[in-house]
Amino acid sequence: MRLLMKFGGTSVADENCIRRVVDILEESRRAGNELAAVVSAMGGVTDHLHAIAADVIAGGESPPIEAFIQALRNRHLKTLAAVAPDSFDEMTEIIDTEIAHLRTILTAVFNLKELTRRSNDYIISFGERLSMHILSAALRQRGIPSVALDGCDAGIITSPMHGNAMVLPESDTHIKTRILPLLADSVPVIAGYRGCTRDGVITTFGRSGSDYSAAVIGAAIDADEIWIWTDVDGVMTADPKIVENARVIPTVSYYEAMELSYFGAKVLHPRSIEPAMRRGIPVRVRNTFHPAHPGTCITKYEHADERVVKSIAYIEHVALININGAQMIGKPGVAKIIFSALAERMVNIRMISQGSSEANITLIVDDAHLTDAMEALSGCVKECIVREVTSDRDVVAMAVVGSGMIGTPGTGGRIFAALGKAGINVMMISQGSSEVNISFVVRDEDGPRAIAVLHDEFRLSEDPDE
């Protein structure tokens, strides 16, 4: 089989984790598989890169650039010494050259007092640029030929939308040309999370974006399966960090996985299913720390589970916007003006609901886009297109997902009755016509309890086959 294996940040967090990853790749190769690997930054590194970028631009007298660089260098070199002692000197030179570029950019941002989206992408994607060298060197240490490539070297060409770039279709041919010849006798290790524009400028895909890199590369090389190795046994009935008795779901359809990831199930990046789905490639989610577990298999098939609901997802850091005004009643084109104004400011709208009176439209946007959204909408108020616009940051959006809901009456009733009984107020509801998901918004302090109530209501901690 040809497999694309992606290893997340916790899977490469230190030398012991990296040894496990090498074990997994070695064993699979020995079983006769052809392999390519995509790697995330070592656990926590991307967060630290975000933090130093923010610190450097914050305007303090002397941001801790040097201390940051030394800590980053030490962590990577310590890991390298443990997993690839034979190539330590040669690889130290490579890591030092990379790190010197990062130092230069951080210093330039500080001196210019300007952090563009472009330079931010360069900085935050640096972790993958380092981890790829370490995993590749660790494979060579075990006698497995390997080269490290970053997203750009691997042929990933993207739109120039920094922080949320889309991979362009032409990448397919580039990836094939660059990666396929390597598979016969080596395991290429590709940096996740990053690609570059046609002009060679580095871009990133948003948090957890290495899953997207994996799907794009897996699809381009025509992998038989894409395996996402992480720190949980698979896609679960809820985030196990919130619901203690969450259970692994053995099979999930592409549509269910897309809905879950879109609604915050961090285990997969929201765009990571589509490239696999287009080619019908199964995606498996497996646990690096428990490789004996079969994990979750995501395919086109809807598993005939007698349960209508499979999983509950939860997005924090969103805001609710209420747009009111009798002017909207029966007037064509108002929605177009509102959505065009938001699109001009690049505001990503996550949920929409409109009351049948048409005097109210409610939207959910990412918290980070709220200021831009309110500015855009204040223009609509000034032009008397709507009467007033209000916002609320203290909310969370949730989605109850399961393809069994299609055509099954009563699921909405059960959800809202259970929440009502628990005294949880629902502020907004939305259901697409695909019926794979019912989503709604509650106060953020009610979020964890709402998940627990629904997890119990649909008995998700029980094995459906028993």
Residue 193 near which of Mg ion, ligand ADP, ligand ASP, none (CB within 5-8 Å, type-dependent): ligand ASP
Closest to ligand ADP by CB, 102 or 401: 401
Of residues 3, 19, 140, the one with CA closest to residue 11: 19
- The verdict on 265 binding ligand ADP (CB under 6 A) reads yes
Closest to ligand ADP by CB, 110 or 227: 227
Please give the helix or strand (H or E) that residue 137 lies within, else none: helix 126-141
Alpha-carbon gap, residue 155 to 106, rounded angstroms: 27
Instruction: Candidates 4, 5, 9, 215: give the one binding ligand ADP (CB under 6 A).
Output: 9
- Show the tokens assigned to 8: 């997340």
Residues touching ligand ASP, count (CB under 6 A): 13
Instruction: Candidates 37, 132, 215, 235: give the one binding ligand ADP (CB under 6 A).
Output: 235
Closest to ligand ADP by CB, 172 or 259: 259
- Of 137-145, 160-168, 209-217, 311-319, which segment contacts ligand ASP by CB under 6 A? 209-217
- Show the tokens assigned to 67: 């201390």
Residue 176 near which of ligand ASP, Mg ion, ligand ADP, none (CB within 5-8 Å, type-dependent): none
Residue-wise over 217-236: b if at least 16 C-beta within 10 A, else e?
A: bbbbbebebbbbbbbbbbbb
The nearest distance, CB 208 to Mg ion, in angstroms, is: 4
Burial of 435 (0-12, 13-18, 19+ CB in 10 A): middle
Alpha-carbon gap, residue 465 to 445, rounded angstroms: 34
- Residue 376 dihedral angles phi and psi, to the nearest 5°: -60, -45
- The verdict on 10 binding ligand ASP (CB under 6 A) reads no
The nearest distance, CB 277 to ligand ADP, in angstroms, is: 18
Cβ-proximal residues to 353 (8 Å cutoff; 6+ apart), any chain: 361, 362, 428, 429, 430
Of residues 174, 211, 158, 171, the one with CA closest to residue 38: 211
The nearest distance, CB 409 to ligand ADP, in angstroms, is: 26
- The verdict on 127 binding ligand ASP (CB under 6 A) reads yes
Instruction: Candidates 210, 237, 261, 439: give the one binding ligand ASP (CB under 6 A).
Output: 210
Please report, for the chain, how many H helices and E strands are present, in that order: 14, 16
- Of 77-85, 174-182, 265-273, 412-420, which segment contacts ligand ADP by CB under 6 A? 265-273
- Of 4-12, 179-187, 370-378, 386-394, which segment contacts ligand ADP by CB under 6 A? 4-12
Torsion on CA atoms 391, 166, 7, 149, rounded to nearest 10: -140
Q: Could you identify the residue written with the tokens 């990831």?
A: 261
Instruction: Candidates 9, 264, 295, 402: give the one binding ligand ASP (CB under 6 A).
Output: 9
Query: Would you tell me how many other CB atoms lie within 10 Å of the CB of residue 343?
Result: 12
- Of 231-239, 299-307, 421-429, 453-461, which segment contacts ligand ADP by CB under 6 A? 231-239
- Of 183-191, 205-213, 378-386, 414-422, which segment contacts ligand ASP by CB under 6 A? 205-213
The nearest distance, CB 177 to ligand ADP, in angstroms, is: 28
- The verdict on 207 binding ligand ASP (CB under 6 A) reads yes
Burial of 83 (0-12, 13-18, 19+ CB in 10 A): buried
Query: Would you tell me how many other CB atoms lie within 10 Å of the CB of residue 160?
Result: 14
Instruction: Candidates 122, 126, 193, 227: give the one binding ligand ASP (CB under 6 A).
Output: 193
Closest to ligand ADP by CB, 96 or 316: 316
Closest to ligand ADP by CB, 231 or 456: 231
- The verdict on 41 binding ligand ASP (CB under 6 A) reads yes
3-state secondary structure of 282: coil
Instruction: Candidates 46, 186, 230, 430: give the one binding ligand ADP (CB under 6 A).
Output: 230
Query: What letter represents residue 245's amino acid?
Result: N
Task: Return the sign of the alpha-carbon dihedral for residues 72, 74, 80, 86.
Answer: positive
Tell me the β-bridge partners of 440: 398, 429
Query: Would you tell me how many other CB atoms lie within 10 Å of the CB of residue 63?
Result: 20
Query: What letter represents residue 387's amino acid?
Result: R
- The verdict on 362 binding ligand ASP (CB under 6 A) reads no
- The verdict on 307 binding ligand ASP (CB under 6 A) reads no
- The verdict on 215 binding ligand ADP (CB under 6 A) reads no
Cβ-proximal residues to 23 (8 Å cutoff; 6+ apart), any chain: none
Residues touching ligand ADP, count (CB under 6 A): 20
**Residues in the site for ligand ADP, rule: CB under 6 A?**
8-11, 40, 208, 230-232, 235-236, 238-241, 260, 265-267, 311
**Residues in the site for ligand ASP, rule: CB under 6 A?**
8-9, 40-41, 46, 127, 192-193, 207-211
